[in-house]
Structure 1
Amino acid sequence: MKELMTAVTENLIFVAEFLGIVALMFALAYAYEKVVMKKSGDTGRIFSTRKVAMIGMFSAIAVILMLLEIPLFFAPGFYKLDFSEIPVLIGAFAFGPMAGVTIEFCKILLELLLKGTTTAFVGELANFIIGCSFVLPASIIYLHRKTKKTALIGSVTGTVCMTVFGTAFNAIYLLPKFAQLYGMPLDTIVQMGTAVNPAINSVTTLVIFAVAPLNIIKGASVSAITVLIYKKLSPILKEGHRKTEVRKATKI
């Protein structure tokens, strides 16, 4: 009974930490977007009705892509590649950092509804926070000057941030937390990596040889695809936004 209560308490604390990180990401995105809007003289709302609808659409696409996971030969089975950040990044470029964080969060909620969790929410936290470490820098840079060049610069910056942060966050927090919540020694997790790559013999080498390459591949591929297709999608997204603004102006 005591062990059960300890496990429940640990999980509740982790969920509270999870929600705290989610709130922090939303706060950062909201504050930055508001500052930029104020400087540009934009008095509109961050979330219009159309934005909410588009966020829902991009979230649905993101969760479908998230379910299509690709195993990697250099990483243990619990690290897989997916392309769910493509609609998140497109949404963030089109509608701002706040929209990007919201799509990221909705994607996680939808995945939990469809699949539940097999990682005591550690995997979901990892996907959300590491996804935000990619999308937020990219969309913040693009928000200042919306050109193909800044989209590329933002995407590269986001990839670097995701790789550095994701690698460190796995080593310092995620892997130890997963081991704690599952009652699994860290050595057992490291051994899963060793079975794939003999060079992996510690938490440090696990994140260097598995997590870092995964994030580089993911960031580079998502960035390349987004930059290629966003130019074609942008006129459609912007046209819808302009029509909404015209209707508002007509009513006034």
Structure 2
Amino acid sequence: MKNNTRQMVQIALLSAISIIFFAFAFRVLPGIPLKVDLSDYPVLIAAYTMGPIPGLMVALIKNIMHVLFLSSDGTFVGEMVNFVFAVLLMYPVSKIKTHDSKKNFIILFTGLLIALIGIHLFNYYVSFPMYGMANEESLKMLLTVFLPFNIVKGSILYLVFILSRPYLDRIHQ
């Protein structure tokens, strides 16, 4: 990562936008208490325009700021999960270098599958034990609540990214 002023300002600006998006969460699936927010979208922008390290920095800064200013539970587990999911979603976006729609769809679809597997393993082995959940209970919750939620959240984020990519290409050049 180049440590130039422009890139640091872009990381700071995208982090600030991400924090604002964190505050505007909304429900997308009835009966599921989890809310979707678009705070990972600036992470995707940073990864696409500047690379994976700036994307990682935006994800880290937004979650640190969330812990300091918006978090109410005091456990930091939610922010840790959000950081891992953002990084898992961000990495494939940072590897898109072509304008071939079919190839980009395959990259994003594969990235979503890897992110789903990765976040579910992380939840099962790290975050759920931190909440004191039993393995039988957590497996059921992963499949019935978290899997549909993460599919919807990842798909929404990738759709917003795909729709905005032509504008990002014009800005990035």
The Cα RMSD (Å) is: 2.1
In the alignment, what sits opposite 1:154? 107
Do residues 138 (structure 1) and 93 (structure 2) align? yes
Task: Judge conservation of contact 2:21–2:39 (CA < 8 Å) in 1.
Answer: yes
Paired amino acid for 1:220: S
In the alignment, what sits opposite 1:42? none
TM-score by length of 2: 0.88
Task: Judge conservation of contact 2:43–2:90 (CA < 8 Å) in 1.
Answer: yes
Aligned length: 171
For residues 154 and 112 of structure 1, the distance between their equivalents in structure 2, rounded to whole angstroms, comes to 32
Structure 1: which 5+ residue stretches go unaligned?
Answer: 1-44, 180-185, 191-200, 239-252
In the alignment, what sits opposite 1:21? none
In the alignment, what sits opposite 1:57? 13
Do residues 80 (structure 1) and 80 (structure 2) align? no
Paired amino acid for 1:166: I
In the alignment, what sits opposite 2:144? 209
Do residues 66 (structure 1) and 1 (structure 2) align? no
Paired amino acid for 2:164: I
Do residues 168 (structure 1) and 121 (structure 2) align? yes
* Cα gap change, 1:58 to 1:148, in 2 (>3 Å): farther
Task: Judge conservation of contact 1:119–1:178 (CA < 8 Å) in 2.
Answer: no
Q: Secondary structure at the match of 1:70?
A: coil
For residues 56 and 16 of structure 2, the distance between their equivalents in structure 1, rounded to whole angstroms, comes to 14
List per-residue Cα deviations over 1:142-190 (Å, max 9, x = no partner): 1xx34353543332222112211112221222111122xxxxxx26xx9
Structure 2: which 5+ residue stretches go unaligned?
Answer: none
Paired amino acid for 1:123: G
For residues 178 and 83 of structure 1, the distance between their equivalents in structure 2, rounded to whole angstroms, comes to 25
Which has more radius of gyration?
A: 1
TM-score by length of 1: 0.62
Moved more, 114-123 or 95-104: 114-123
Q: Secondary structure at the match of 1:202?
A: helix
For residues 119 and 205 of structure 1, the distance between their equivalents in structure 2, rounded to whole angstroms, comes to 25
For residues 57 and 148 of structure 1, the distance between their equivalents in structure 2, rounded to whole angstroms, comes to 29
